[in-house]
Amino acid sequence: MTRSSVREIRLPMTVVFAGSAGLSLILFSALALAGVNLGTNLSIVGLFLALLLPLGLEIRNRSSRPRKVCIIDYRTHHFGQGIASSIVKSLRNDRAEWETEILVPGDHDNAVQWQIRQLQSAIINAVDAVVILPAGDEDDLWHAMAAVTRSGCFMVAVDSKPPNSVFRRINVEPPRFVSAKYSATGTEIAGWLQPWLAADRQRSALLWVGPTGSWPGEERSRNVVYPLLVAGHAAQLHLMTLSDWAPDPVRCAETLAWIRRQPGECAVYCADDENALALHLLCISQSPELRSRVTIIGCNAAADEWGNVPVLDMHAADVTIDIQVREQGKAVAQMLVRERRGKLSSGERSVFIKPKVVLGSETDGWLNRVMRRQQGAVAPADALDAADAADAADAADAAAGGPLTAAKEPAGADVLPLGVNHVAVPAADV
């Protein structure tokens, strides 16, 4: 199997010490032949050894050239930006030298075909390592990744797992893989929804499942739906299948129409924070009266370039799941460093980062504070004090395990079984 071009075999410590001792002995002999007295000879040799040995250790620890890493994203998004920035920051802290390049497709590029072209360029440019967020499950993309691996480049896939069968069929080692533990992500969402639904049987939940063909989306959706079915909440669940990850105004409008038909409180799992933000904005612009009785659930909690999470700063999601984007980037960087030092074993194939639940009431982002200050220009001081007190009460309730907002007692209503609660939404361009 071709050895990765990233991996380095450092100079053995015995060679460093033996070389330093040998050169010192040669100097000692040369000075002795030149007639230098023993004391002066030993002093010069000792000083020479004291300078030579640290130099040998530095040569051992440093490479002869910087290693080039190409990070290939498939869209401009906080998730990919967070992964890339975390990789770059971690590599900067390494004692060896790295060169990183972050590539993002244009608005009109086909993401898969664009990634294939970038992989071909990586081979031509002799890139040492490629980190890629696969744009889709297509054989052409997997074969391009296999060609990069066969060239000796170290390959790491993030978020979407390439099928091992494709690589084994052509006798190429599959790429290393780093991702959030999406099964646990779905379980965390179900774990929050289950007691919320159990507290009031008149509550309903709409789950945006999928998209079909997306490994993260399908893995997460299965682990949201299944625990809730086992817990006996089938009559309270409604499903909506996503065609893709892009926010869809038609989907959001259909969701608002569904909320209007429900007599009680509703929860909407929006698949990711971007869709949660889209639903929130449409709701407060078109049907603000509905926002008080709907709990919006997002996922990702990916921070922007300033370190803020927009969906939390705007209080667009009442609950979201932090998939630890920065930790994923650090895990990728650790793989690159360990491979370069020859310490990454063949059995270390995948790293899965455990997610955690984040409640919107626990945060008070900068954007929310700015909006409240702007409102303060026309609002009386006692109204601002009341808003601050309400925020403090929400935070106290969340810390004590209480509700996010004051629960309203809904009127009784009949609910349909899960089998007929599938909301069909026509495909529409954003």
Are residues 162 and 136 part of one domain? Answer: yes
User: What are the structure tokens assigned to 191, written together?
Assistant: 């774990």
373 part of a folded domain: yes
Are residues 369 and 221 part of one domain? Answer: yes
Last residue of a domain, one of 174, 190, 224: 174
Q: Predicted confidence band at 207 (pLDDT cuts at 50, 70, 90)?
A: very high
- In angstroms, the CA 128 to CA 126 distance is 6
Q: Predicted confidence band at 11 (pLDDT cuts at 50, 70, 90)?
A: low
Last residue of a domain, one of 141, 174, 207: 174
Q: What is the CATH number of the domain that holds 361?
A: 3.40.50.2300
User: What are the structure tokens assigned to 252, written together?
Assistant: 């959001």
Can you give the pLDDT at residue 304?
74
360 part of a folded domain: yes
Q: Give the SS3 label for residue 359.
A: strand
Q: Residue 274 pLDDT > 60, yes or no?
A: yes
Which residues have CB under 8 Å from 123's CB, separation 6+?
Answer: 147, 148, 151, 153
Q: What is the pTM of this model?
A: 0.70
Amino acid residing at 28: F
Are residues 215 and 154 part of one domain? Answer: no
User: What are the structure tokens assigned to 56, written together?
Assistant: 């040998």
Task: Give how far Cα 129 sits from Cα of 163, 349, 350, 351, Å.
Answer: 20, 16, 16, 17
Are residues 145 and 88 part of one domain? Answer: yes
CB 153 within 8 A of CB 129: yes
Are residues 167 and 89 part of one domain? Answer: yes
Can you give the pLDDT at residue 108?
81
Q: Predicted confidence band at 407 (pLDDT cuts at 50, 70, 90)?
A: very low
8 part of a folded domain: no
- In angstroms, the CA 409 to CA 412 distance is 9
The closest of 126, 4, 9, 140 to 70, measured between CA atoms, is 126
What is the number of domains present in the chain? 3
* Interval 12-63: pLDDT, tens: 778 778 888 888 889 889 988 888 888 888 899 888 888 888 887 777 666 5
CB 374 within 8 A of CB 163: no
Listed in order, strand segments (DSSP E) in 184-326 are 204-209, 237-241, 266-269, 294-297, 319-322
Which residue range is the domain that position 414 belongs to?
A: 182-324+356-423
Last residue of a domain, one of 44, 61, 78: 61
- In angstroms, the CA 347 to CA 269 distance is 36
The closest of 216, 69, 78 to 134, measured between CA atoms, is 216
Range with top average pLDDT, 61-70, 365-374, 382-391: 61-70
Are residues 159 and 96 part of one domain? Answer: yes
Are residues 160 and 84 part of one domain? Answer: yes
5 part of a folded domain: no
User: What are the structure tokens assigned to 116, written together?
Assistant: 């294939």
Are residues 369 and 231 part of one domain? Answer: yes
351 part of a folded domain: no
Longest dimension (CA), the chain: 107
* Interval 114-165: pLDDT, tens: 999 999 999 999 999 999 999 988 999 999 999 999 999 999 999 988 998 8
Q: Residue 306 pLDDT > 80, yes or no?
A: no
Q: Residue 372 pLDDT > 90, yes or no?
A: no
Which position has the token pair 């030298």?
97
Are residues 291 and 227 part of one domain? Answer: yes
Can you give the pLDDT at residue 77?
85
Task: Give how far Cα 289 sits from Cα of 280, 282, 294, Å.
Answer: 12, 12, 10
